[in-house]
Amino acid sequence: MSEIIKISNLVKRYGDLVALDHLNLSVREGEIFGLLGPNGSGKTTAINCVLSLLKYDRGDISVFGKPMTPSSYDSKREIGVVFQNVAVFSQMSVYENIDYFCSLYVQDRALRKQYVDEAIEFTGLFDCRKKRPPQLSGGLLRRLNIACGIAHHPKLIFMDEPTVAVDPQSRFHILDGIRQMNRRGSTIVYTSHYMEEVEQICSRIAILDRGKCIALGTADELKGMIRTGETITIEGIVLDEEALSRIRSFENVFSVDYRDQVLTLKCSTGGNLTAILHTLESDGITFGRVFSEKPTLNDVFLEITGKNLRD
Amino acid sequence: MVQFKYRLIQALRQRANIFWGLFFPLLLATLFHVSFGGIMDTEHFETIKAALVTEESNETFEQALGGLDRNILDLRKMDPETAEKALADGSVAGIFYSGQTPRLTVAKNGTAETILSGILRQYNEYVRIASDLAVSDPDKIGTFFQYLQSDDTDYIQNVSLGGSSYDTITDYFFALIAMACFFGCYTGQALGEQSAANVSPLAARRAVSPETRLKSILTDLLVGFIIQFVSVLILLFYLNFALDVHVLAHPAQMLLITALGCLLGVSFGIFVGTLNAKAGTRVLLTTALSLFLCFLSGLMYGQMKQVIEDAAPIINRLNPAALISDAFYYLNVYEDTAAFASRAALLGIYSAGITAIAVILLRRNRYASI
């Protein structure tokens, strides 16, 4: 697959703050590329630099194999953007908004009408196509925001946290739509704080922190990068210090947390549950419910970026 | 074309801006008309008593006062002490002091006092015109003095050098038209905010599209201009045909000044709209500056412009609202084409300058922060 976006050595400073610190990334054609990172990690800044909205201090950005500049109108014609903040005209109806933004890309009237109708159907906005944004719910507004960004059938779509503050139904609808657009041939760059969403839809994921890409790969590849291979939780268990010491000495267990009769074990590999339960039964220790979980993207994220609060 | 259509629809649906650009001037025009109705109606006019004190001989001034309609101004020559007593006991509304620079003293604010003040102002204006004519167009000075000595120079119903009727109250309406032109800044501001990517997400969405920046800026400028120009045209027609304030005696020139004024107002608004400040700050800046400029042009106090002209005329040359009302004044009252042309040229230069700044700001390729 060819590279549709290539970011090389990108540096962006806001005064003394380094927002992007020699960032290198590439997005391949046809993938849904997830961009993860704590608040202020540089996700939106990176997107705005790629879109030529922001000045940057150093580095190169190419899109569709050509350097990206504010006057790269041919490239811009193939790009769709769904911004984090809803960006629509409150004085115009749903239809008028989509038609206006589509008209910036598509001049042919008949084709534009077809695209606008498709976008309305795609985002499920047909029943409210004559309503104005102030009359729409939060979820419908988000869907309108998406429709305005994708109506012109772009080859490359940037979606910056498109599911913030929407209900589960709308979120399902949006995620399903993203998969459809990808199947239709669009490459998608997707940022979100919802790890399960990213894990669900993204073919590759980059984790950004302090302006750098600190991990890149598929969800499974990222999970393989962290120490935790399995998390075992045992509820309703009463342990003395001697039993806890024995558990700590188990092979593969690197973290033991016991509080309120709940035991949480972190193991470096999977497949430890049977051996642990067997030992507990041998010692005559009773217990309630037992869970064994493989690491999630959330675990990966927290382990890689740390658990300290960010701004 | 479709972008123009939608930008127009969107701007027209911004009720607040349409109120300030169209309905507020209409409302103010109606209020002015009602308020000044009594002053403008000569048949119900009570004669104003005033004293004339000669401090230093100025025959021109005394003749000018003596030539006024006696049904309007009852002027009595007095010595200073008697005049001051008469002013104190209210038997005269004001004292004119004749001298090299004639002056007026009044004891309070009121309609009679305003009219006396208007008479002095008009005299000063005539003297200034005569001086200007002596330099620029000596042939016309004879006509001018004939006019001053004619019976037509009564206070309420003046006749301009070109023959069109005029009264001092019309000054307020000129200032009002200037305000209406300049209030295009509200529409311009909204359009500007939707064009600067560091000001609104909507503008960012437009900036990432393949629409060229110049096209998008010119579309917005045209939309703002058309809305404001049509609004001011409605005001002009309302003044002329509904309120009988004759502002369309020279329609082509009036439209030229109106168009330049609207362009200036909209460009200024676009310029403010692109400033990376809080939304409230931008609105405050637009409102404060537009009202301040209108105040200086005489919208709230009719003689403000003259006060500035006497003290610091450069302010009147710099203030676009004063330039607009000045241009109307020279056009309709004195038919002084040179003065009119100079005001129009200045307005044109300012409009082009502000428009260029707005375009340059919006064409900025990338932003330092968003």
Verify that A12 and A95 share a domain, yes or no: yes
pLDDT tens digits, one per residue of B324-341: 888 888 887 777 788 889
pLDDT score recorded for residue B158: 47
Residue B61 near residue B98 (C-beta atoms within 8 A)? yes
Cβ proximity of A233 and A263 under 8 Å: yes
Instruction: State the CATH number of the domain containing residue A219.
Output: 3.40.50.300
Q: Are A252 and A290 contained in the same domain? A: yes
Average pLDDT over residues B293-298: 86
Query: Please, what is the Cα angle at A201 between A197 and A206, to 5 degrees?
Result: 80
Least Cα distance to B321 among B268, B250, B243 occurs for: B268
Q: Helix/strand/coil (H, E, C) string of B195-244?
A: CCCCCCHHHHHHHCCCCCHHHHHHHHHHHHHHHHHHHHHHHHHHHHHHCC
| Higher per-residue pLDDT: B5 or B279 | B5
The one-letter amino acid at A33: F
pLDDT of res. A178: 92
How far is C-alpha A261 from the geometric centre of its chain's CA atoms?
A: 35
The verdict on a CB contact (< 8 Å) between B9 and A96 is yes
Judged against a pLDDT cut of 50, whether residue B155 lies above it is answered with: no
Decide if B205 and A83 are in contact by the 8 Å CB cutoff: yes
For residues B10 and B17, what is the distance between their CA atoms, to the nearest angstrom? 11
Number of Cα atoms under 13 Å in the Cβ half of residue A167 = 7
Whether residue B365 and residue A71 make contact (CB cut-off 8 A), yes or no, is: yes
Give the C-alpha separation, B224 to B191, whole Å: 8
Return the minimum-mean-pLDDT range out of A29-33, A243-247, B249-253, B363-367: B363-367
Instruction: Say yes or no: A204 and A290 in one domain.
Output: no
Element (H, E) at A89: none
Q: Are residues A160 and A287 in the same domain?
A: no
Task: Give me the number of domains chain A comprises.
Answer: 2
User: How far apart are the CA of B201 and the nearest CA of chain A, in angstroms?
Assistant: 5
Q: Which domain holds residue A31?
A: 3-223
Q: Is A70 on the interface with B (CB under 8 A)?
A: yes
A109 in a structural domain: yes
B150 band by pLDDT with thresholds 50, 70 and 90: low
Residue B157 has pLDDT above 50, yes or no: no
CB-based burial label for B161 (10 Å; 0-12, 13-18, 19+) = middle
Taking contacts as CB-CB distances below 8 angstroms, the residues of chain A near B211 are 104
Within a domain: residue A306?
no
Same domain, A175 and A133: yes
What are the residues facing A80 on neighbouring strands?
A157
What DSSP character marks residue A1?
-
Collect all residues of chain B within an 8 Å Cβ-Cβ radius of residue A141. none
Q: What is the pLDDT of residue B162?
A: 47
Task: Evaluate whether A22 touches A2 at the Cβ level (below 8 Å).
Answer: no
Pair A136, A184 in one domain: yes
A62 vs B: CB within 8 A? no
pLDDT tens-digit readout, A88-120: 999 999 999 999 999 999 999 999 999 999 999
Q: Which residue do the tokens 């004879």 mark?
A: B142
Same domain, A57 and A116: yes
B5 to chain A: nearest residue by CA? A100
- Give the pLDDT band of residue B307 (cuts 50, 70, 90): confident
> What is d(CA B358, CA B352) in angstroms, rounded to the nearest whole number?
10
Of residues A69, A84, A91, nearest to B10 (C-beta): A91
- CB pair distance less than 8 Å for B206 and A55: no
Q: What sign does the CA torsion over A294, A298, A304, A309 have? A: negative
How far is the alpha carbon of B196 from chain A, nearest alpha carbon, in Å? 10
Of A94-103, A200-209, B221-230, B274-283, the range with the lowest mean pLDDT is B274-283
The amino acid that residue B337 corresponds to is: T
A82: in domain: yes
Residue that is last in its domain, among A178, A199, A223: A223
Contact B176, B162 (CB under 8 A): no
Nearest Cα neighbor of A218 from A197, A202, A229 is A202
Chain B nearest-CA distance from A197, in A, is: 24
Tokens in use for B248? 């369309």
User: Which of B3, B6, B211, B213 best probes binding to A when mutated, by most A CB atoms within 10 angstroms?
Assistant: B6
Q: Is the pLDDT of residue B285 over 50?
A: yes
In chain B, residues with a C-beta closer than 8 Å to the C-beta of A101 are: 205, 209
Chains A, B: CB contacts within 8 A come to: 86
Q: Examine residue A310 and state whether it is found in any structural domain, yes or no.
A: no
Tokens in use for B41? Answer: 């109606």
Please report which residue ranges of B41-110 form alpha helices under DSSP H.
Answer: 59-66, 80-89
Name the closest residue on chain B to residue A74, using Cα atoms.
B210
Given pLDDT bands bounded at 50, 70 and 90, which one contains residue B175? confident
Q: What percent of chain B has pLDDT over 70?
A: 89
What residue ranges define each of the domains in chain B, with the CATH number in brackets? Answer: 2-37+168-363 (no CATH), 47-155 (3.40.190)
Strand bridging mode A17-28 / A156-160: unpaired
The radius of gyration computed from the CA coordinates of chain A, to the nearest angstrom, equals: 24
| Mutation site for A-interface testing, chosen from B363, B366, B367, B370 by largest number of A Cβ within 10 Å | B366
Q: Mention every residue, 6+ apart, whose C-beta is less than 8 A from residue A67.
A: A60, A61
pLDDT at B131: 79
Find the CATH number of the domain harbouring A246: 3.30.70
In a domain, A308, yes or no: no
> Is the domain of A65 the same as that of A182?
yes
A206 and A112 share a domain? Answer: yes
Q: How far is A92 from chain B, CA to nearest CA, in Å?
A: 6
Where a domain ends, among A192, A223, A254? Answer: A223
Contact at CB, B205 and A101, closer than 8 angstroms = yes
Strands B103-106 and B94-98: antiparallel
Helix residue ranges, H only, B90-156: 111-136, 141-149
Residue A113 covered by a domain = yes
Please check whether residues A210 and A135 belong to one and the same domain: yes
* C-alpha–C-alpha distance, residues B343 and A74, integer Å: 45
Q: Is residue A305 part of a domain?
A: no
Q: How far is CA A66 from CA A9, A62, A188, B319, in A?
A: 16, 5, 18, 49
> Of B75, B151, B160, B152, which is closest to residue B120 (Cα–Cα)?
B75
C-alpha to C-alpha distances, B145 to B56, B63, B123, nearest whole angstrom: 22, 12, 12
Average pLDDT over residues B71-86: 87
* ipTM attached to this prediction: 0.81
Using a CB–CB cutoff of 8 Å, tell me whether A130 touches chain B.
Answer: no
Instruction: Confirm whether A303 is domain-assigned.
Output: no
Secondary structure of residue B343 in the 3-state scheme: helix
Q: What is the pLDDT of residues A123-159, one digit of tens each?
A: 889 999 999 999 998 889 999 999 999 999 999 999 9
Contacts with B, A 73-112, CB within 8 Å: 73-74, 76-77, 79, 81, 83-89, 91-92, 96, 99-101, 103-105, 109
Averaged pLDDT for residues B167-176:
78
Do A243 and A190 lie in one domain? The reply is no
Task: State how far the Cα of B70 lies from the Cα of B130, in Å rounded to an integer.
Answer: 25
Among candidate residues B86, B122, B124, the one with its CA nearest the CA of residue B105: B86
Listed in sequence order, the DSSP H helices in chain A are 43-50, 73-77, 94-103, 109-122, 138-150, 168-183, 195-201, 219-223, 241-248, 273-282, 297-305
A199 and A236 within one domain? no
Domain boundary, last residue among A199, A223, A247: A223
The total number of residues shown for chain A amounts to 311
Tell me which chain A residue has its CA closest to the CA of residue B191.
A89
pLDDT classification of B245: cutoffs 50, 70, 90: confident
Does the pLDDT at position A43 exceed 50?
yes
Type of residue found at B257: I
Residue type, B112: A
For the cut 60, the answer to whether the pLDDT of residue B94 exceeds it is: yes
Please name the helix (run of DSSP H) or strand (run of DSSP E) that holds residue B325, with its range, or none. Answer: helix B320-329
Residue A69 contacts residue A52 (beta carbons within 8 Å): yes
Assess whether pLDDT exceeds 90 at residue A29. yes
String of DSSP letters for A188-257:
EEEE-S-HHHHHHH-SEEEEEETTEEEEEE-HHHHHTTSS-SEEEEEES----HHHHHHHHTSTTEEEEE
Give the list of residues 6+ apart from residue B231 with CB closer than 8 angstroms, or none. Answer: B18, B21, B22, B25, B180, B184
Tokens of A163: 């599911």
β-partners of residue B369 are none
